[in-house]
Structure 1
Amino acid sequence: MRIGAIDLGTNSCRFLLVEYAGGTLQELKKGLRITRLGAGVDRNKLLSNQAIERALAAVLDFVGVMKSLQVDQVTLLGTSALREVSNAFLLAERIKEKTGLQLRVVSGAEEARLNYLGAGEEGEDSLILDIGGGSTELIWQAEGGIINYRSLDIGAVRMTERYIRDPEKEIREEDLLELEEAVRAIIREELESLPANIGRVIGLGGTITTLAAIEQQLEKYDSARIQDYLLEKGQVEEILKKLSRLSLAERRQVKGLEPGRADIIVAGIKILTTVMDIMAIKEIRASEKDLLYGAIKELAKKFGLF
């Protein structure tokens, strides 16, 4: 059986197609397109017509690819940007009309649960950290499952729009300090009295996987080299320092950095370094098994495959 999942995120649209065979899920195809669905959402609480068209085009292309590979079932998810806007139905209706797929906008709690299904490892205390375009999810897991979670309105697109005055130039230190103060205030408020023992830290989302690609200077993105790549706090801080001193045009030339992510990557990394500092995290292990993989596992269970 072949199962596909599409994630309409704040910054990008992604898909994953797997085949269930021999009791395991085997990856067949995956793809990503920068759609910036959440452009202006933090300010206007509406999807722009241009963003709707970009997202629709990506979904249609990805559905076409999966159909050509004889997919049996597809699930379509929307996250932070679609949770916030009042006109998500416009995109949902267009997608259903063109593909027959029903868009499922997941809550912060559901996003955390799907990330856990994708990245969680049984029997090991750990923190799963997912920095997205619009939000950041933190999921504490122990033997038996999730013991707590938080979904915070701090993401790479959102914080760029709020605090980075001119992403096309070198990033001003004042902008980064304001961004850090905002992240610290939110985390202090949200994380009080939560588990102190976090064990291993697993990092999800484009900011963290991009850091792994930059650190390895990958000419071409290679999932096998990203999965389980260990990033130390000092390495992350060094990349932040380097990228913040480059113009947007220069950032787009950095090996391992998707050009379409170059305008928001500094804010994303600043979120990460601030979280690592507050929570005394020394290292983080990158993972590609996020909510897409979790959504596929969930669908597979419905068909009795697990």
Structure 2
Amino acid sequence: MTTRVAAIDCGTNSIRLLVADLPDPAAGPDSPLTDLSRRMEIVRLGQDVDRTGRLAPEAIERTRIALVEYAAEIEKLGAERVRMCATSASRDAENADEFRAMVERTLGVLPEVVSGDEEARLSFTGAVRGLPADAKAPFLVVDIGGGSTEFVVGTREGGVQAAVSMDIGCVRMTERHLHGDPPSVDEIAAAQADIAVAVERALEVVPGREAATLVGLAGSVTTVVAIAQGLQAYDPARIHHARVSYEQVAEVTADLLGKTREQRLAIPVMHPGRADVIGAGALVLKVIMERAGMPSVVASEHDILDGIAWSLAPSAG
């Protein structure tokens, strides 16, 4: 018997929905879930949180509007179980209670403000479950979000060995450092130095340099990979499990940081809501590859959203 579930991932920059059928547990650990609906809206819930420590009223309202649509989709498709995880922005905000109350009114369930460690474990589950059989373990999975980046090392069989979350997301780094359009050389240098310190700290906690494969998750990574591939439209099937070299990532990063927001908007694969923060996201990926000594990165379209869905399996409680 399959189980129909709905997973919502509410991050600093975007809110995403996955409604899927989970396979019968008897089908085995390699059986995939079946997508019924995947949706994403850029709501920038983390707008100015790094500066103010609070969620902006207009950001909460943008999120509410998206959740109204998601609730209707969940009802239409008849999901049996629903879980919403709220990440970095909601952990950091003084007025997180206002946000939680809004979600419960709109969706009917409370959001779980997951810890950085749980966020990392969910991301790892979502990413590794579908990796090609020839991807060599151990894996270093990095999930570059808006407010934070999760680093997880582990294997398929053994699961997570170590995980840590660092406050170097693409929105946070843009708001903290990259103010010019395009950003100045000094701004980029300051952002890179800030990111490098955090990555070094992360690599003291997780043995990322010992990993055989780097797996990159979330919109910053998939957008960089799409640009590196020269895609003329965003194509998840072409991006999922594509491998690009460090040299390609470095080239795309330099190009993005050298462009104005208007020029980035003109890139065919660019989501309009990502154009102002993609330079910082690409820079985070580039610095991780440098510091971890990774010659390439494998992109995954499956991430924390899939991990949340798998956590709703009957065997998971």
Q: Tell me which residue corresponds to 2:286.
A: 273
SS at 1:18 equivalent: strand
Overall identity of the aligned pairs, in %? 36
Deviations for 1:33-88, whole angstroms, at most 9, x for unmatched residues? 10000010011110010000001111111121222222222111100110111211
Matched, 1:209 2:222: yes
SS at 1:13 equivalent: strand
TM-superposed deviation, 1:163 = 0.3
CA RMSD of aligned residues (A): 1.8
Q: Which moved more, 1:245-254 or 1:91-100?
A: 91-100
TM-score norm. by structure 1 comes to 0.93
Matched, 1:149 2:163: yes
Q: Tell me which residue corresponds to 2:7.
A: 5
2-structure distance, mates of 1:193, 1:51: 33
TM-superposed deviation, 1:27 = 0.8
Unmatched segments (≥5 aa) in structure 2? none
1-structure distance, mates of 2:295, 2:159: 24
Residue type at the aligned position of 1:3: V
TM-superposed deviation, 1:194 = 4.4
Deviations for 1:76-103, whole angstroms, at most 9, x for unmatched residues? 1100110111211111111212221111
TM-superposed deviation, 1:303 = 6.7
1-structure distance, mates of 2:97, 2:245: 42
Q: Among residues 127, 131, 134, which one is paired with 1:119 in the alignment?
A: 127
Classify 1:213/1:89 alpha carbon distance in 2 versus 1 (closer, same or farther; 3 Å). same
Deviations for 1:92-122, whole angstroms, at most 9, x for unmatched residues? 1112122211111100010011112111259
Q: Tell me which residue corresponds to 1:165.
A: 179
2-structure distance, mates of 1:146, 1:54: 34
Contact kept? 1:217, 1:255, Cα under 8 Å? no
Contact kept? 2:236, 2:301, Cα under 8 Å? yes
1-structure distance, mates of 2:14, 2:203: 28
Q: Among residues 52, 59, 62, which one is paired with 2:67 in the alignment?
A: 59
TM-superposed deviation, 1:184 = 1.4
TM-superposed deviation, 1:300 = 1.0
SS at 1:33 equivalent: strand
Unmatched segments (≥5 aa) in structure 1? none
2-structure distance, mates of 1:19, 1:111: 22
2-structure distance, mates of 1:98, 1:233: 43
Q: Which moved more, 1:95-104 or 1:43-52?
A: 95-104
Aligned pairs, how many? 302
2-structure distance, mates of 1:293, 1:36: 21
TM-score norm. by structure 2 comes to 0.90
Q: Tell me which residue corresponds to 2:194.
A: 182
Q: Which moved more, 1:199-208 or 1:92-101?
A: 92-101
Alignment of 1:283-302 (within 5 A): 283-302=296-315
2-structure distance, mates of 1:193, 1:28: 37
TM-superposed deviation, 1:192 = 2.7
SS at 1:75 equivalent: strand
Q: Tell me which residue corresponds to 2:44.
A: 36
Contact kept? 1:201, 1:283, Cα under 8 Å? yes
Q: Tell me which residue corresponds to 2:261.
A: 248
Contact kept? 1:6, 1:59, Cα under 8 Å? no
Alignment of 1:69-88 (within 5 A): 69-88=77-96
SS at 2:312 equivalent: helix
